[in-house]
Structure 1
């Protein structure tokens, strides 16, 4: 069975770092794959609910000179594809795989790749020892990376004696890095996921100049933070939806947490102490 128009469009978008607005355009193009080669930039903009210049920038992001060149490509390469439903492609079971399922399957692939990387546990184990040795332990994550940093810091605080979450930027960020260094910090953990704020890159450069060893969980070994990290741990983000999905970085953070616990002799005792206090307070409903 031939490749459908939606699948051809999806292949065109793969490998490009698109903004949320550009992904919205891409999603609408997949949904209306049969019609898109014959739409003007204005019509496509109205369909996707974006501005006409956004459509032009989208075409340039894909490597075309402008939207006319993209539409010419679509007419020559996509329009001849079989009709039959845009975003859906046949699954092995004979059913349809829609765009939401594709996003989940893409994340499954990211997790599989992470598992392959962890076949060599040495980098994570080394990172865990570094994090365990730092008193205090600053954990940095801004914007899209804030949930990853906050999640790590929440659990790490149960076993590490002094975890300091840095999830707000601005002029206070360097002050808080300085305060951690004065308190004895030797390592900074950073979660740096797309899109990468310039402020994070600058903060890591500052942290290293202040004498901190930087451990970074990021989406790629080629991320902008790579040059300012002493130990880089990559885990791909999903890009199939309008906003990135971060299942692999989140799981890598939990693996890193486990490795850190291995470097804290009293980690289990702290967990048991917390459980006893929680039970005494009736903290949880179960």
Structure 2
């Protein structure tokens, strides 16, 4: 690491290349940098569920002489966060353009890589099965996830799917009351705790409506037999203004599902061309 005062940025850039134990340590540091500055290496080891020697090795791995050097580097980052306005994640108001670009790129690449690793080919194939088999589909997201839901709904209609569109969650819930076991509810939420998402999930479970979840790692939703959960993994510590990395990961999954679905669709090129030709009439 060339600059000890950029430890948080450095960890965000390399976290995807670390071992499982090293990632556990890195994520703990990224989520609680201020706390780490007051801890001993033994304290951090206990919090991360690793040995004290693993903490020391981690410090060496990131280019520091030991745990005291790590605490000094973190203290500098924390102090800087207090002096400069934090815009997003580890991007600050006084960062030069080149550094902002690199940090943003690293954040997006990390989210894409972690999300790809977090979903098996079998899970993705099962998700496409549910999309193909569904007579009707509701895609529900709230806030930033609503933008992802609208984008995916638009893509699926080009394949001839009957998708309930719109940004009004109340309208989606009203339509859900008419769904049955031959339809599909697709819920997109990083937290998995949004009230609209929980209400929709609870109703679908009570009425046996197949449900596909795209949620973050902190959700408590555990899929039932007729449900399937896909993961969106994005490390946006401290400040998650606009949830940029999260939305990047969500769009990557929905785009992948669209392409996989298109592979199975009959006469897919002509369906997309017909849709575009009709839209072109109003241009």
TM-score normalised by the chain length of structure 2: 0.62
1:164 aligns with 2:161: no
Q: Does 1:210 align with 2:207?
A: yes
Equivalent residues in 2 for 1:260-271, closer than 5 Å = 260-271=261-272
Aligned to 1:251: 252
Deviation at 1:145, TM superposition (A): 1.1
Within the candidate set 222, 232, 254, 2:229 is matched to 232
The equivalent of 1:58 in structure 2 is none
The 10-residue stretch of structure 1 (153-162 or 190-199) with the greater mean CA deviation from structure 2: 190-199
Q: Does the CA contact (< 8 Å) of 1:111 and 1:247 recur in 2?
A: yes
| Contact 2:115 2:234 survives alignment (8 Å) | no
SS of the residue 1:196 aligns to: coil
Alpha-carbon shift at residue 100 of structure 1 (Å) = 5.2
Task: Give the 5 Å matches for 1:108-257.
Answer: 108-117=109-118, 120-165=120-165, 167-170=167-170, 172-181=171-180, 185-194=182-191, 196-220=193-217, 222-227=218-223, 230-239=227-236, 242-243=240-241, 244-245=243-244, 246-257=247-258
Which of 1 and 2 has greater Rg? 1
Q: CA deviation at 1:247?
A: 0.9
Contact persistence 2:215–2:229 (CA under 8 A):
yes
In structure 2, what is the equivalent of residue 4 of structure 1? 4
Query: What is the total number of aligned residue pairs between the two structures?
Result: 221
SS across alignment from 1:139: strand
Distance (Å, rounded) in 2 between the aligned partners of 1:81 and 1:260:
49
Give the direction of change, closer, same or farther, for the CA distance of 1:13–1:2 in structure 2 (3 Å limit): same
Shift of 1:254: 0.5
Q: CA deviation at 1:97?
A: 7.0
Is the CA contact 1:187–1:212 (under 8 Å) kept in the aligned structure 2? yes
> Against the structure 1 CA distance between its residues 161 and 116, is the aligned structure 2 distance closer, same or farther, given a 3 Å change threshold?
closer
Calculate the TM-score normalised by the size of structure 1.
0.61
Cα distance in structure 1, aligned partners of 2:115 and 2:276: 31
Residues in 1 aligned to 2:28 and 2:278: alpha-carbon distance in whole angstroms: 49
Separation of aligned partners in 2, 1:103 and 1:141: 24
Name the structure where helix makes up a greater proportion of residues: 2
What do you get for the CA RMSD once the two structures are aligned? Answer: 4.2
For residue 173 of structure 1, report the CA deviation from its aligned partner: 4.5
Partner SS for 2:187? strand
Unaligned runs of 5+ in 2: 12-24, 39-46, 48-67, 82-89, 91-95
Relative distance call for 1:161 and 1:113 in structure 2 (3 A) is closer
Distance change >3 Å, CA 192–CA 242, structure 1 → 2: closer
Name the SS of the counterpart of 2:177 in structure 1: helix
Q: Closer, same or farther in 2 for the Cα pair 1:256/1:185, shift >3 Å? A: same
1:98-131 C-alpha deviation (Å, 9 max, x unpaired) = 355323202212212334456x422212211211
Offset at residue 282 of structure 1 (A): 5.6
